[in-house]
Structure formats: structure tokens, C-alpha cells
């Protein structure tokens, strides 16, 4: 059994400030270690459930955060960014039996995390078919496009609620709640224990119900913090200005959504 794990850091237990997510800041090391610990826990849970091969995508910022030597030997680690539109789930294909998201966070335009955002910090919102989109939704749809069930997600309470509203069969472990510029977290070691236990349980069940139905058509809207960014994005083929700060486009092919995001977000 082959399992895919995509890991971000803003939804890792306790992460509250950008300084804790940026390599050059002294606060970063503690949270890089917790990100690694949560990914290790997910790997151990999947291995206990019978996984024989696990691919991990380090999907935050430089893509060079996870400490590779701490991962189990069955893991292959994808570091950096290839430039492929699959981005945070690069190399995911139909050969995987399940996908897992660790350290995911609330979307741009929401109050679920002090660090709420979708892809770039200059994006005020992303909507797909009138549904506000987080990075979770973008890559849950990507997994659906290659027919891989998304079985587990950990992160802040806001993104866990979003995952449950898309498909209640996805197992979630909320590790903290955002309140204004603050967070209320469970203990980092308890988060690791819960992730290990819940990943093991959910991968064992294999959860065919976790398949997400991909819409037949995509009506996409992206809001920017400056009109200049929206104006620039409006020149991507098929994209048009809706308002000064907002662009829109339509397609039936989800890969075209990802292709556009690669260039306009």
C-alpha cells in the first residue's frame, strides 16, 4: 500500500506568527521540529496500518523544512519545488491508495488562524463554484482528479471544519484554534500521539467513502490585495477582470485551474 503525505507548517501545533515559519528567524527551528514530528507520526500510523511505501511532499515555503533523517526508512521525501502545477501534491498519481495532509491551515479571508492565507499572502480570497477555497480544497480536488481518496487532515480547527464540510468521511485532528492574532493549542506531544493513532485507524479502514467528487465545471474567482496584481493576472489566457481587485475564469478541466494558479497566485 502506497500513501502520500503533503505537509505545511502554518497548521502545525502552536504556530502563531510568521517568524515561526521562516527559515532565517530564530523562532523557526522549534516549529520545524514539530512539523517533522507530526509528519513522522503520520508515517508511523500509516506503516502500522500496513503501508509499505510513503511519499512525503515538504510543501511549505522553500520546501526544505522537514528533517529527513528523522523519517522512517520507508519514506521518500520530495524537497523544493519542481514548478509542476500539482505544487503541494507534486508526484501524486493514481498509484497511491490514500492522501494525507499535515499542518494545513485556514483559508484567505477567514479568521481560523492568525496566519490564514491561500497560497500567496497578497490573495484576499479564492472561490471555486462559489465555495471559498483553502489550500486544502485546491489539493483535495487535485487528489480527486487522479482518483486518490483524501483520508486524513490535521491543522487548525477552521481547516478541519472545511474538510468535514466537503466530506464528513475525512478524518481530522484539530491541533489548535485561532482567535484574532492568537492561538489556543493542545500539547505538541499530544498532537503527535493523536495524529499517529488517527492515521493508523483511518488508513486501516481504507475509507472508500473519502473519495471527493470533482465538479464537472469550475467557475473560479481570485481576489488580490492590490488592483495592480489583479490587472497583471487578468492577462493570463482565459482570465478576465471582474472588479478592480478581482479576476475570474471558467473551465471544465481542473488541471487548467491549477495551471492558471501557478501563474496568477
Sequence-distant (6+) residues with CB within 8 A of 10 are 21, 60, 103, 104, 105, 113, 115, 117, 155, 156
Rounded to an integer, what distance in angstroms lies between the CA atom of residue 232 and that of residue 20? 31
Q: How far is the CB of 185 from Zn ion (least distance, A)?
A: 17
Q: How far is the CB of 60 from Zn ion (least distance, A)?
A: 4
For position 20 contacting Zn ion by CB under 5 A, the verdict is no
Q: How far is the CB of 225 from Zn ion (least distance, A)?
A: 18
User: Would you say 149 and 100 are in contact if contact means Cβ atoms under 8 Å apart?
Assistant: no
Q: How far is the CB of 13 from Zn ion (least distance, A)?
A: 14
In terms of residues, how long is the chain?
265
Q: Name the H helices within the chain.
A: 28-48, 135-145, 157-166, 188-205, 227-233, 254-264
Smaller CB distance to Zn ion: residue 4 or 31? 31
Smaller CB distance to Zn ion: residue 8 or 198? 8
Rounded to an integer, what distance in angstroms lies between the CA atom of residue 132 and that of residue 112? 13
* Geometric angle at alpha carbon 84, from 125 and 265, rounded to 5°: 20
Q: How far is the CB of 139 from Zn ion (least distance, A)?
A: 12
Nearest to 51 by CA among 103, 96, 101, 104: 96
Smaller CB distance to Zn ion: residue 60 or 97? 60
β-partners of residue 58 are: 7
For position 8 contacting Zn ion by CB under 5 A, the verdict is yes
Residue whose Cβ sits closest to Zn ion? 60
The only residue of 32, 57, 60, 229 in contact with Zn ion, by rule CB under 5 A:
60
Candidates 53-61, 74-82, 179-187, 238-246 — which segment interacts with Zn ion by CB under 5 A?
53-61
For position 107 contacting Zn ion by CB under 5 A, the verdict is no
Smaller CB distance to Zn ion: residue 65 or 172? 65
Residues that bind Zn ion (CB under 5 A): 8, 10, 60
Amino acid at each position: 500500500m502506497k500513501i502520500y503525505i503533503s505537509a505545511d507548517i502554518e497548521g502545525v501545533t502552536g504556530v502563531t506568527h510568521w517568524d515561526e515559519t521562516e527559515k532565517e528567524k530564530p523562532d523557526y527551528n522549534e516549529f520545524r521540529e514539530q512539523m517533522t514530528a507530526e509528519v513522522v507520526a503520520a508515517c508511523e500510523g500509516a506503516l502500522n496500518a500496513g503501508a509499505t511505501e510513503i511519499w512525503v511532499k515538504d510543501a511549505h515555503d522553500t520546501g526544505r523544512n522537514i528533517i529527513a533523517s528523522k523519517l522512517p526508512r520507508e519514506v521518500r521525501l520530495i524537497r523544493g519545488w519542481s514548478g509542476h502545477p500539482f505544487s503541494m501534491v507534486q508526484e501524486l498519481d493514481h498509484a497511491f491508495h490514500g492522501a494525507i495532509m499535515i499542518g494545513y491551515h485556514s483559508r484567505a479571508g477567514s479568521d481560523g488562524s492568525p496566519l490564514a492565507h491561500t497560497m500567496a499572502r497578497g490573495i484576499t480570497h479564492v472561490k471555486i463554484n462559489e465555495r471559498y477555497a483553502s489550500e486544502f480544497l485546491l489539493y483535495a480536488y487535485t487528489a480527486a482528479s487522479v482518483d486518490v481518496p483524501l483520508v486524513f487532515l490535521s491543522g487548525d480547527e477552521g481547516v478541519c471544519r472545511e474538510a468535514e464540510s466537503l466530506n464528513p468521511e475525512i478524518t481530522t485532528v484539530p491541533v489548535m484554534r485561532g482567535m484574532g492574532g492568537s492561538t489556543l493549542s493542545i500539547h505538541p506531544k499530544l498532537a503527535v500521539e493523536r495524529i499517529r493513532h488517527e492515521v493508523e485507524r483511518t488508513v486501516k479502514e481504507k475509507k472508500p467513502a473519502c473519495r471527493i467528487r470533482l465538479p464537472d465545471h469550475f467557475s473560479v474567482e481570485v481576489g488580490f490585495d492590490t488592483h495592480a496584481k489583479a490587472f497583471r493576472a487578468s492577462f493570463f489566457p482565459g482570465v478576465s477582470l471582474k472588479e478592480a481587485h478581482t479576476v475570474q475564469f471558467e473551465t471544465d478541466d481542473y488541471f487548467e485551474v491549477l495551471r492558471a494558479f501557478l501563474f496568477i497566485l
